[in-house]
Chains A and B, each alone.
Chain A
Amino acid sequence: MPGAKTESQCVTEQTAAKERLITYAEAGVEAVREEMRRAPSIFYMGQGIGPRGGNFQQSRGLWAEFGGERVRDTPIAERGETGLGIGAALAGSHPIVDIVFLDFVLEPIAEIIQQASTIHYISNGQFKVPVVIRAAGGGIRSTGPHHSHTFYSFFMHIPGLKVALPATPFDVKGLLKSTLRDDNPVIFVEHKALYTTKGHVPEEEYLIPFGQAVIRRPGEHVTLVALSLMVQKAMQAATRLEKEGISVEVIDPRTLVPFDKDTILASVAKTGRLVIVDEAYASCGVSAEIAAIAASEALYELDAPILRICALPAPHAFSPSLDNYLVPSVDRIVTEVAALVRRKS
């Protein structure tokens, strides 16, 4: 879980001590505010994102500045909102559709996959579909099976969609600003447990390009590719493993589409071991894709089998004891990575 001790660990390498600390939620608000000031075509809609400022304060203050036309509360109609967002994008607007809980993206998923992802291609490039699907995934304090999912793998499966998975306030702001300058449909997945975490975010404007992974921590013995909240857990695990003499390189891909495989393959060539930590299920997940890339392109660099540390294959349970067991924990990462590194080949 996020807390004061972990804050420094989500600071990116681009930061400097003099920069201000803001939360992950505030960083997202800043990105949207700056881009809405820049581009009148951008508008924002979703449930509770108006005067209330969003379930996670992810739109706080935007309604007051831009008004109810451009920051538009919606009824509980995810398919309608998304379909209207796609239509508005075709007509020259740049909508942000906030699904709030990523679980509820299952309602409009046909609109995203059948319409948004295809129209630019099947219209022979005549129409652009710059719609942003924003949502928060992951578990936090026993949110149960309908509010805890990490559904992003199937968007990575579909040509025509870009997917961002920011793990720090710095990345939320830089990636969301890039998203709002991109003519493609973008699935922007934040993590509920990260919204209150703080990190260094510069005052001056910056953009983070899609398709550039970041090495959160350099290491020698094993490469840990971690997604979203799992970046924090991987960093904590790496600190503990260092005390056991295991040097861990932690890589955060930051975007799933486009995907920066080169940074991962270069790291694997150095360490000879690959571990993927993902809060989603292993089966057919992003971890499976990364493992397949490594197996196809770096098999002879590997000194050990590829290890995936993912949610265990059961629905998200409510009880904290089960919930904490099913989702990858720092303890589990430490134990499994240590066993992998010490394994005799």
Chain B
Amino acid sequence: MVVIREFELKAREIFRSGRMPGFIHVYVGQEAVAVGVCAQLRTDDYVASTHRGHGHALAKGISARSVMAELMGAVGGCSGGRGGTMHLYDPSVGFLGSNGVVPPGILIAAGAALSAKLRGSDQVAVAFFGDGAVNNGAFHEGLNLAATWNLPVVFVCENNLYATEMPFDEATKNTSVASRAAAYKIPGIVVDGNDVLDVCAKAGEAVERARRGEGPTLLECLTYRWFGHHEGEPGTSYRTKEEIASWKERDPMLRLREKAMATSWASAAEFEEIGCEVNRVIEDAAVYAIKSAQPSVSTAFDHVFSN
């Protein structure tokens, strides 16, 4: 979680300095979801992600260097600079891409799960998506097919209450994402998305259920993004300061730290140590990314087709 938090803050800093091409959607505030879910997965399990995908990529095991360089469009990035923030890929850790389109990850993860099932593998696939995806047809088609075919997939909705600037309760009459699972006769579980231990417990059950061949689960992780939809959009015209402040009080990192220290599971010194180590990793990633070269135009037509 600390890696994701510090990574995103560094990415914002580089973006604001004008050195980063394109635009980014940062994950600050939602870290517990990616971490709690991916901690339940094996390296060969699959994840399909979203436009807000840096946290998922890092949690699934892509290095901070590799993700940061990709944000810079550089050859050292996990997609060689061809994809950028919304197209992070790494087959070595089963990362099937962040995505510039909102719902296709649902279908891609379900398809990877179908492949695993047909190959007789016990791999599991996870689709991350926001509340904005659940009112789109792909959500229905993906969940229906996955449920009907009993696929080993976990659907993780990160309900951060806003699809861009559209409040969820203006986008749908049924604001309980978890309740929609009943339409497909699969379990729908509400998760405190700002409590990494709750995410771990509930995602763990869902992943094991999928791995046992018992089919998909829909998790609704209630969470909040601290900043705007994308960097440069302040996120304050449609959200009150009080609302933002109240969610910052529920900071997933702070909550874990308090719980860990209250139960003497970890000490303040250990958290300090983690913070220092993470700072070093993120500084290193930033230097690496900024130094990494842009792809040569001589490679512009590489990989249009696979030979």
Contacts and interface: CB of A to CB of B under 8 A. Distances in A.
Interface centre among B82, B116, B302 (most CB of A within 10 A): B82
A159 B307 CA distance: 14
Contact of A123 (B87, B107, B114, B142): B87
Interface string B55-87: 000000000000000000000000111110001
B151 to A, nearest CB: 9
Interface residues on B, range: 35 or more
A121 B82 CA distance: 7
Interface in A168-210: 183-184
Interface in A57-107: 69-70, 72, 74-75, 77, 79-93, 95
B137 A79 contact: yes
Contact of A83 (B46, B138, B305): B138
A114 B304 CA distance: 13
Contact of A122 (B87, B118, B306): B87
B145 A80 contact: yes
Contact of A90 (B111, B119, B137, B303): B111
Given A122-B89, A124-B82, A87 B304 contact: no
A324 interface: no
A191 B267 CA distance: 70
A93 B96 contact: no
A91 B111 contact: yes
Contact of B303 (A82, A93, A120, A162): A120
What's the interface size class on A, roughly? 35 or more
Given A83-B138, A90-B111, A183 B306 contact: yes
A79 B97 CA distance: 19
Nearest to A69: B118
Contacts of B80: 124-125
Contact of B111 (A77, A85, A123): A85
B115 interface: yes
Contacts of A86: 104, 107-108, 111
Contacts of B96: 87, 90-91, 127
A86 B104 CA distance: 10
A70 B118 CA distance: 8
B140 to A, nearest CB: 8
A111 interface: yes
Interface of B: 46, 48, 79-83, 87, 89-91, 96-97, 99-101, 104, 106-116, 118-119, 123, 125, 137-138, 141-142, 144-145, 148-149, 302-307
| The 3 A-B residue pairs with the shortest CB-CB distance in the complex, in nearest-first order | A87-B111, A83-B107, A80-B141
